[in-house]
Chains A and B, each alone.
Chain A
Amino acid sequence: MAISRRVVLHFPPRLVDQPIIYQLVKEHNLVLNILKASVTPNEEGLLILELSGAQKDYDQGIRYLQEVGVRIQSLGQNIVRNETRCTHCGACIAICPTGALALDPKTRLVNFLEDRCTACEICVLACPPRAMEVHF
């Protein structure tokens, strides 16, 4: 069975320069979509991925990551925009770290690009009418 999951990977400094993602793709047959990546020297690396593939490959890939020492956080929850509450003000645009909330310059409406959302939840309290909801 094919699945698709979003995960947050925390890389300790010693792993930042290792070809871990390369291995993940090559050895475990997973397709990945990078939603966010930030690596700063001497600091932890952060990678938010959407991993798709067979359940068996996914489980093995996750096990591999755990074994090499990557801390994994799964994005089990989903951020959903309550379309009747959203006023399209734009208060969320500058604070969303991934650009998932973006202004359409033509219509001036605020688009919610779910596939870019990493469920960081920063927008949830920052949205004045509380249109961004966490669903489990």
Chain B
Amino acid sequence: MTRTIAEINEKIRKGQAVVVTAEEVIDLVEKEGVEKAAQRVDVVTTGTFGPMCSSGAYFNLGHSKPRIKIGGGRAYLNDVPAYTGIAAVDIFLGATALPDDDPRNRIHPGAFNYGGGHVIEELVAGKDVRLAVSAYGTDCYPRKRMETWTNIKDMNEAVLFNIRNAYQNYNVAVNLSDKTLYTYMGVLKPNLGSANYSSAGQLSPLLNDPYYRTIGIGTRIFLGGGIGYVAWHGTQHNPNVPRSDKGVPTRGAGTLTVIGDLKQMKPQWLVGASMVGYGCTLTVGIGIPIPILSEEILRYTAVRDEEIFAPIVDYAEAYPQRSPEILGEASYGELKSGRIIVQEKEVLTASLSSYPKAVEIANTLKEWIVRGDFLLTEPVASLPGVEAGITFKPLKERPIEE
């Protein structure tokens, strides 16, 4: 059985495409077998909704009268600093940016109530945001100061541009020390008091296409409640990790860079988040359609939580000290049961990524496709695969001699 994306799109246009979610496909394959299921199903939709720190947005704010050169100056949106080292009225706001006067961890653990991710959520919600700018003034851009309300609808462009999202698998974080840890993986109770994980598992996009056979540069996706595209592989993309017999990575592996028009996204799918004692971030909703071009591709999408394993890592010692040591592996089936065994102790699990929301995303994308509102795209280039021989480099420090 083989199928092309053009054929699938033809069926979508006619309203005849058969679309199931990456959760539904599991039962289908169980009942009908791979061969029959592959004949029937055209598209499998995936979804994930979790905190993704390497997210941000760039904006073109429009030119004031008289003009001001924000580029090279300072710009704040609701007191959160944006990056200005680009042209006059373009700025980039990162999800983890914090107001200059945030108490951070001065009193540990800091609350991190408001940051870049929250500004993005408010902009998407259509709220007015305070823009404060200081610049050095030039002949052609004379103004030095500006404070004004702004709104996403008044900007020329507002584009979500996330340089690392949708991690293909991730660590399970535990705490072997005797004090509570406040991490980007959430609050970790002492003495193996909790195990936090963050992946939609069997619904997660790259876990359903483990060798990047269909997801590539130019793939159209559900992004933040609107439409986006895969722009590149994400930072730290590292296909060369241990994999199960079925090819599923058992460590953090592939990642995606995604882009899309922020103006058509929804605040429900871009939620500002605060990690106590760590910082601010943005919870991003992503859904990716997988065209069933062959039986092999369908077989990958039928992966279930029990077959996907994640490494258990101590965030008291091993993670901060970059020691490669792991305490074992747990399947998402076990993690989702609420308890795993680590060092012979039963440990309660908690998830940072929302499974019910991932299901909702996969279902929304399915509806879009079934209704004929969302056509699939042919990737213009593949993501680097195992054969690319990427190695994940640590930072080697070299002393700077005076």
Interface residues of A (CB under 8 A from B): 85, 87-95, 103, 105, 107-109, 125-126, 128-130
Q: Which residues of A contact B275 (CB under 8 A)?
A: 128
Asked if A105 contacts B338 (CB within 8 A), the reply is yes
Residues of chain B within 8 A (CB-CB) of A126 are 186-187, 276
Cβ distance A113 to chain B, nearest Cβ, rounded Å: 15
What are 13 of the A-B contact pairs (CB < 8 Å)? A90-B350, A90-B352, A91-B186, A94-B350, A103-B338, A108-B355, A108-B359, A109-B356, A125-B109, A125-B111, A128-B274, A128-B275, A129-B274
> How far is B191's CA from A94's CA once the two chains are assembled, in angstroms?
13
In the bound complex, residues from chain A placing their C-beta under 8 Å from that of B276 are 125-126
Q: Report the separation of the CA atoms of residues A91 and B350 in the bound assembly, to the nearest whole angstrom.
A: 5
Pair B193/A94 contact, Cβ less than 8 Å: yes
Q: Which residues of B contact A93 (CB under 8 A)?
A: 338, 348-350
Determine the distance from Cα of A88 to Cα of B353 in the docked complex, in whole angstroms.
9
Please give the distance in Å from A87's CB to the nearest CB on chain B.
4
The 4 A-B residue pairs with the shortest CB-CB distance in the complex, in nearest-first order: A94-B194, A128-B273, A94-B348, A90-B351
- Output the nearest chain A residue to B336 by Cβ-Cβ distance: A108
Residues from chain A with Cβ under 8 Å of B187 in the complex? 91, 95, 126
Interface 0/1 of B335-359, CB less than 8 Å to A:
0111000000000111111111101
The interface size bin for chain B is: 35 or more
Q: Identify which of A92, A103, A105, A126 gathers the most chain B CB atoms within 10 Å of its CB.
A: A126
A92 to B275 CA separation, bound complex (whole angstroms): 12
Give 6 A-B pairs besides A85-B271, A88-B356, A93-B348 with Cβ atoms closer than 8 angstroms: A89-B50, A89-B353, A94-B348, A105-B338, A108-B359, A126-B276
A105–B355 Cα gap in the complex (Å)? 11
B164 adjacent to chain A (CB < 8 Å): no
Among candidates B189, B272, B357, residue contacting A88 with C-beta atoms closer than 8 Å:
B357
Is B223 interfacial (CB-CB < 8 Å)? no
Task: Determine if B354 and A92 form an interchain contact, defined as CB atoms under 8 angstroms apart.
Answer: no
Residue of A whose beta carbon sits closest to that of B357: A87
Known: A85-B271, A129-B271. A90 touches B354 (CB 8 A): yes
Q: Are A94 and B271 in contact (CB-based, < 8 A)?
A: no
Q: How far is the CA of A95 from the CA of B273 in the complex (A)?
A: 18
Q: Is the CB of A129 within 8 A of B196?
A: no
Given contacts A105-B338, A107-B356, contact A91 B271 (CB under 8 A): no
Chain B residues 83-114 with CB under 8 Å of chain A are: 109, 111, 113
B residues less than 8 Å from A129 (CB atoms): 271-274, 283
A95 touches B354 (CB 8 A): no
Question: Contact between A130 and B274 (Cβ–Cβ < 8 Å)?
Answer: yes
CB distance from A91 to the nearest CB of B (A): 5
Shortest Cβ distance from residue B21 to the other chain A in the assembled complex, whole angstroms: 14
A89–B49 alpha-carbon span in the complex (Å): 9
Residues of B within 8 A of A92 (CB): 350
Flag whether B260 is at the interface (Cβ < 8 A): no
Q: How far, in whole Å, are A85 and B348 apart by their CA atoms in the complex?
A: 24
Give Cα A108 to B336, complex, Å.
Answer: 9
CA distance in complex: A130, B194 (Å): 20
For A107, what are the chain B residues with a Cβ–Cβ distance below 8 Å?
356
| A85 CA / B359 CA spacing, docked (Å) | 17
- Give the docked Cα–Cα distance between A103 and B348 (Å): 11
Report the minimum CB–CB distance from B272 to chain A (whole Å): 7
Interchain CA distance A126-B112 in the complex, whole Å: 11
CB distance from B122 to the nearest CB of A (A): 13
Distance of A102 Cα from B186 Cα, bound (Å) = 17
* Cross-chain contact A88 with B350 (CB below 8 angstroms): no
In the bound complex, residues from chain B placing their C-beta under 8 Å from that of A95 are 187, 189, 194, 350
Q: Is B17 an interface residue (CB 8 A)?
A: no
CB-based contact A128/B193 at 8 Å: no
Q: B187-208, CB under 8 A of A: which get 1 and which 0?
A: 1010001111000000000000
Which residues of B263-279 have CB atoms within 8 Å of chain A's CB atoms?
Answer: 271-276
Which residue of A85, A91, A105, A108 contacts B356 across the interface (Cβ within 8 Å)? A108
| Complex Cα–Cα for A90 and B339 (A) | 13
Q: Give the residue name and chain of the A residue nearest to B358 (CB).
A: A108
Contact residue among A90, A103, A125, A128 (Cβ-Cβ distance under 8 Å from B283): A128
CA distance A9 to B209 in the complex (A): 55
State the CA gap A93–B348 with chains docked (Å).
Answer: 8
Question: Residues of A contacting B224 with CB < 8 Å?
Answer: none
Which residues of A have CB within 8 Å of B196? Answer: 91, 94
Q: How far is the CB of A127 from chain B (nearest CB, A)?
A: 8
Contact of A91 among B272, B352, B359 (CB under 8 A): B352
Instruction: Tell me whether B249 is interfacial, beta carbon within 8 Å.
Output: no
**B234 in contact (CB, < 8 A):** no
